[in-house]
Amino acid sequence: MAPSLCTDDVTGTGKSGSVKFNAKQHLAYSPPSNILKMKDLGKSPTVLSPVASTEPFPLLSHDAILQHRSEIFSGDVLDNCMHHTRPGSVQIRGMAPRYASFIHEFWHSPEVLKIISENAGVDLIPAMDYEISHTNVQLGPGGLDAVRKTPLEPPAATEEAISEFEKHKPRTRAITDQTRPIIEWHRDSHPFVCVVMLSDAQHMAGGETELKKADGSTLKVKSPQMGCAVILQGRYITHTAAPAANMPERVTIVTSFRPRDPTLLDETTNSNVRNKSHLTELYFQWTTYRLDVLAQRAQIAATELRDMYEKNVNASDPEGKNGLCRVETVEVKAIEAWVEDQMKYMKETLHEMRPLGQ
């Protein structure tokens, strides 16, 4: 039997928070065998990327899996960060960096961001700290109480589970049944997500992700194995996940990403997360990230105007002196359009903090 989780034991290295991310120790990356494009779903590429989804690929080493599980299922995290929003599962979110320093460091590391960005086709950063390692836990017969007894080492399949898996393996599974949903059909709040399996899925029946194509038909992406990841442009693809039918647990983590470039389209929302978050913290992180993007956009616009001004001075003033440039530098219509875009961006920022239920 796998050992019960001890919140003061972090993969044998001491108290929680003592483990530091080390790429050589904590990454087991191999590139995905295939990358599904938006055109494969009958959709046009978005302005961010032509990538729809990767095939599952190895990402976390076993040490990294254990460290994620140790921090996620610690007493502090379960006491403060667990939300029970549907009958079949719970969500654990908002634990980093306060209760999960390793998880925070892992998903902010240059090595991990390079892997995510190269496979997504656009340079990405975590959307907000609150959206790092959002955890979906499928509830079993033990219900909520059993979550607190989640073992550090992922439990292996029983002989009965393996038999069930082998019996149904040749069968084509329809996974749109929502009678026991892990999550309903939805689009994500953020442009890209990286989903990682933290459970032993070698003999898991179910657990696949299903994507809706433009014609209404669906396409299945196989469930990742333990430590493996799938990158999905989930803001623009309607999708769902199947429950695991035969395993003692199904634990997945989802880290959400947005473009690093502040000038790229940012249609991030809080639509799927406001009812499973501490809004005081979420809204602080949300507002400051949006203001930071606005400030970066303003700085870029100001720099472009200064560069244009210098060009105009050099081309029109025999002495090359600033202070009386008679060539038009500011295109008022262009500035008007820029201002309207930023006003829309900030109005959307406010809209995403509307009262729950609206």
Looking at residue 167, its pLDDT comes to 67
pTM above 0.85, yes or no: yes
Beta strand 239-241 with 183-186: parallel, antiparallel or unpaired?
A: antiparallel
Summarised one tens digit per residue, pLDDT across range 240-285 is 877 776 677 889 999 999 999 999 999 999 988 999 999 999 999 9
d(CA 278, CA 290): 18
Q: Which residue has the higher pLDDT, 272 or 180?
A: 272
Residue 2 has φ and ψ, to the nearest 5°, of -70, 145
Q: How far is CA 280 from CA 63, 94, 285, 286, in A?
A: 33, 12, 9, 10
Query: Which pLDDT band, with edges at 50, 70 and 90, does 2 fall under?
Result: very low
The candidate with the shortest Cα–Cα distance to 56, out of 202, 186, 188, is 202
**23-260 belongs to which CATH class?**
mainly beta
Summarised one tens digit per residue, pLDDT across range 334-354 is 999 999 999 999 999 999 999
Average pLDDT over residues 19-24: 97
CB 54 within 8 A of CB 33: no
CB 45 within 8 A of CB 120: no
Looking at residue 15, its pLDDT comes to 42
On the CB side of 307, CA atoms within 13 Å amount to 6
Query: Which pLDDT band, with edges at 50, 70 and 90, does 100 fall under?
Result: very high
Summarised one tens digit per residue, pLDDT across range 305-324 is 999 999 999 999 999 899 99
The candidate with the shortest Cα–Cα distance to 48, out of 215, 231, 208, is 231
Within the chain, all domains assigned CATH 2.60.120 are found at 23-260
Whether residue 7 is predicted with pLDDT greater than 90 in this model: the reply is no
Whether residue 1 is predicted with pLDDT greater than 50 in this model: the reply is no
